[in-house]
Amino acid sequence: MAIDRRQLIVDAATKSFSLFGYKATTMDQVAKLANVGKGTIYTFFSNKEELLEEIASRLIKEMKAAAEETMEDHLSFYENVNRALARLMEFRKEHQLTIKLFQEEKEMGTQAVMDVMMKIESAIIHYIKEKVETAMDKGEIKVCNPEITAFVMFKLYIALNIDWEKQHSSLSKDEISHLFELYLFTGLSKQ
Amino acid sequence: MAIDRRQLIVDAATKSFSLFGYKATTMDQVAKLANVGKGTIYTFFSNKEELLEEIASRLIKEMKAAAEETMEDHLSFYENVNRALARLMEFRKEHQLTIKLFQEEKEMGTQAVMDVMMKIESAIIHYIKEKVETAMDKGEIKVCNPEITAFVMFKLYIALNIDWEKQHSSLSKDEISHLFELYLFTGLSKQ
DNA sequence: AAATGACCAAATTCGTATTTTAGTCAGTTA
DNA sequence: TAACTGACTAAAATACGAATTTGGTCATTT
């Protein structure tokens, strides 16, 4: 029963980052939580930031899997991309790690955290971009720049989910999904 | 030739806020620039923040006037709202005051500046909202929530103008205008 | 060969002395 | 006497050295 020290470290760091944030967790703390000498951490990760990056890339995988689960082949592109984005927003809201990192990014501006959040955003947009490309190839939507389209979809979702509720009462999942369809798919023009 | 001390103060403060930002300009500095005793400032404005608010509301009026100038009755709603938003983005880029305040909001998070920037954003959205309502009444666009629509238009414009160029080469005015039409007016759905 | 924790330089925090600044108001000016 | 002023003050910001903490290393242990 050889214990996987690498995994112990990642788990401990995830727990600590979730509870206290990136800056406020020390490597000593991670080592203690993982029941491992501090030096051991550095045999797997060359520094604290790399440890965060590992955790972020696991998070990205988890988010992708969660989004993938909500999509179904027989549904339209609109329905699927809407489900995926809605699921990703939910994911963000229910995971302490994403909440904490988002907060740390805005409130403290920790560079490593900003880098990693940017990476996560890029990964999401890249993921959506692939869905847009597939839909375009299938002729389900108009020809457009897939990268910009994915970017706009993501930004619209963030705006409706997060920015709107800074000054108004928050929108329900159904309202958001309806607005997403109206603005990006059917459009405001008549007929 | 009675000099308008109030105006002198506003001008001096505008100049100083533009050059050094809100936090870095002192009331002594404003008084000196305006050739006025410091006490005089407080006969017109009860504190530094109120002085900033006065300047911001003048800025809002200027922005509205600039936007209004670009619009023309015989053009479509899309064309007009696009012109107005494009003009507002230009305005932001060419006025030292807006640049400085925007920077101070992000980099220092000065509360008074954040409040005032929020006010400016709200004013712009409110302005767009009125245009949306008119267009809706005229039957130029589908029925929709005008506040949310204005909000989305503004956020999309910010996304394409500012957020996009953080990771990509910036989009031209024409590209943005075209994307604005595609996503919000014609929509991605076919026919 | 893998793991460790005492160790170190660098960074951060803390405590405090010093300076700066927003706002006031008694006195001056016109 | 009404508008204006700038010396003044309390509070906030800053500067700065001491003390502590922390990321990362490496000689030693297992």
* Bases of chain C within 7 A of a CB of the protein: 2-6, 20-26
Mean pLDDT of A84-107: 97
Using CA atoms, how far apart are residues A171 and A164, in angstroms rounded to an integer?
A: 8
What percentage of chain B's residues is helix, strand, coil (to nearest 5)? 75, 0, 25
Mutual angle of helices B27-34 and B5-20, in 10-degree steps: 130
Structure tokens at B6: 């109030």
**What b/e sequence results for B6-29 when a residue is b if at least 16 CB atoms lie within 10 Å of its CB, and e otherwise?**
bebbbebbbbbbbeebbeebebeb
State whether residue A177 sits within 8 Å of chain B by CB.
Answer: no
The answer to whether residues B71 and B83 touch, using CB atoms and an 8 Å cutoff, is yes
pLDDT tens digits, A32-87: 999 999 999 999 999 999 999 999 999 999 999 999 999 999 999 999 999 999 99
Q: B176 CB contacts (<8 Å, ≥6 apart)?
A: B86, B157, B160, B161
Please report which helix (H) or strand (E) contains residue A157, including its range.
helix A146-158
- Phi and psi at B3, nearest 5°, equal -80, 145
Neighbours of B80 (CB within 10 A): 20
Considering only CB atoms, which chain A residues are within 8 Å of B187? Answer: 183-189
Contacts with A, B 27-86, CB within 8 Å: 78
> Are A156 and B160 within 8 A, CB to CB?
no
> Are B187 and A190 within 8 A, CB to CB?
no
The answer to whether residues A109 and A23 touch, using CB atoms and an 8 Å cutoff, is no
Question: CB of residue A95 closer than 7 A to nucleic acid strand C?
Answer: no
pLDDT at B190: 84
> How many residue pairs from chains A and B have C-beta atoms closer than 8 A?
90
Residue A2: pLDDT above 90?
no
Computed over every residue of chain A, the mean pLDDT equals 96
Nearest to A183 among B139, B152, B179 (CB): B152
Using CA atoms, how far apart are residues A11 and A8, in angstroms rounded to an integer?
A: 5
pLDDT at B15: 98
pLDDT at A190: 84
* Bases of chain D within 7 A of a CB of the protein: 3-7, 21-27
State whether residue A173 sits within 8 Å of chain B by CB.
Answer: no
The answer to whether residues B188 and A185 touch, using CB atoms and an 8 Å cutoff, is yes
Spacing of C-alpha B22 from chain mean position = 17
Question: CB of residue B37 closer than 7 A to nucleic acid strand D?
Answer: yes
Nearest to A144 among B78, B182, B184 (CB): B182
Using CA atoms, how far apart are residues A114 and A121, in angstroms rounded to an integer?
A: 10
Closest CA relative to residue A83, chosen from A141, A157, A138: A157
pLDDT at A3: 72
Which residue ranges in chain B fall short of pLDDT 70?
A: 1-2, 191
Query: CA A96 → C1' C2, Å?
Result: 34
Mean pLDDT of A110-131: 98
DSSP conformation class of B166: G
- Tell me the CA end-to-end span of chain A in Å, nearest whole number: 67
